[in-house]
């Protein structure tokens, strides 16, 4: 158990990818603080973690509000005595509210930036002083290949994730001398529910013959947290089944 006695904060821990990350880190021996906007969602994942012998702390926190994040991170440190890892999973696209940018509401634009960019930066700002003091730490930000390649009706989401990738590179330069690694993992299309024709869906959204799962993302996060990845920092790793490969019109 390579992460035994380590403590991780997972924002958006009650979501699909966040839950998978919590479980994967717990299986490797970590203790988990589950951050979610809703206490019920955090509690549900925490109970799952406790059932496999993981010490956990469910926390309801609005990451768009820095003071809320700051106070909750302090509580986590007081509870566990340390913070070793942060995984920023909270966020997501506007989904059913997606629209062409010239028709998108200002409220949705601001919300996407607030949660996907500022929320992650709030968590990093609150956690990093504890890591600097401890002279060790590891941060992984869940971003998106939309930030690399673009997508219709995703301008505000892509801007937020692209901003987080850029911030990660600068933070790697700042935090590296303190023995803190920070990287991004950019998923491709990850479905919550399986489509009727899985093979057709997989081939449409990747160059592989299977669908990306939450566990694919969680396994990558786990890899980035282990000693074998300790010389990797400031990078954005695409886990997209090759979806972002190839030039349009090249065939």
Give the Cα-Cα-Cα angle 189, 45, 96 (nearest 5 degrees).
40
Q: Would the pLDDT of 211 be above 90?
A: no
Q: What is the mean pLDDT of residues 110-118?
A: 97
Please give the domain boundaries of the chain with CATH numbers for all domains. Answer: 7-237 (3.40.50.720)
Average pLDDT of the chain, as a whole number: 94
Average pLDDT over residues 87-108: 95
Question: Is 60 exceeded by the pLDDT of residue 251?
Answer: no
Sign of the torsion formed by the C-alpha atoms of 58, 63, 65 and 69: positive
Structure-token match 């500022």, residue found: 118
User: Residues 168-180: pLDDT tens digits?
Assistant: 999 999 999 999 9
At 22-39, the pLDDT tens digits run 999 999 999 999 999 999
- pLDDT tens figures, 149-202: 999 999 999 999 999 999 999 999 999 999 999 999 999 888 777 777 888 887
Report, as an integer, the average pLDDT of 218-230: 97
Average pLDDT score over residue span 78-92: 97
Q: What is the pTM of this model?
A: 0.94
β-sheet bridge partners, residue 59? 35
DSSP state string for 39-61: HHHHHHHHHHHHHTT--EEEEE-
Q: Which of 38, 66, 157, 231 is catalytic?
A: 157
CA dihedral 212, 241, 89, 173 (to 10 degrees): 160
| Local confidence band at 138 (pLDDT 50, 70, 90 cut-offs) | very high
157 is catalytic: yes
**Residue 108: how many CA atoms within 13 Å on its side-chain side?**
19
H-helix segments, the chain: 16-27, 39-51, 66-80, 106-113, 120-134, 146-149, 155-175, 198-205, 214-225
User: What's the whole-number mean pLDDT along residues 223-227?
Assistant: 96
């Amino acid at each position: 158990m390579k992460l035994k006695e380590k403590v991780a904060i997972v924002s958006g821990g009650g979501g699909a990818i966040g839950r998978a990350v919590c479980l994967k880190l717990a299986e490797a021996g970590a203790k988990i603080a589950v951050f979610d906007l809703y206490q019920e969602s955090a509690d549900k994942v925490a109970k799952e973690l406790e059932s496999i012998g993981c010490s956990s702390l469910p926390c309801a926190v609005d990451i768009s509000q820095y003071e809320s994040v700051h106070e909750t991170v302090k509580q986590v440190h007081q509870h566990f005595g340390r913070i070793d890892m942060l995984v920023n999973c909270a966020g997501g696209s506007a989904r059913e509210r997606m629209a062409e940018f010239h028709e998108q509401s200002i409220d949705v634009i601001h919300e996407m930036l607030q949660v996907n960019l500022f929320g992650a930066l709030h968590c990093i700002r609150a956690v990093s002083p504890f890591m600097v003091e401890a002279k060790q730490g590891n941060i992984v930000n869940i971003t998106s290949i939309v930030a690399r390649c673009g997508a219709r009706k995703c301008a505000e989401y892509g801007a937020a994730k692209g901003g987080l990738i850029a911030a990660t590179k600068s933070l790697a330069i700042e935090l590296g001398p303190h023995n803190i690694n920070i990287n991004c993992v950019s998923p491709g299309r990850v479905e919550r529910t399986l489509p009727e024709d899985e093979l057709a869906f997989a081939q449409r959204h990747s160059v592989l013959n299977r669908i990306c799962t939450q566990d694919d993302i969680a396994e990558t996060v786990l890899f980035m947290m282990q000693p074998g990845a300790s010389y990797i920092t400031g990078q954005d790793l695409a886990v997209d089944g090759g979806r972002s490969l190839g030039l349009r019109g090249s065939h």
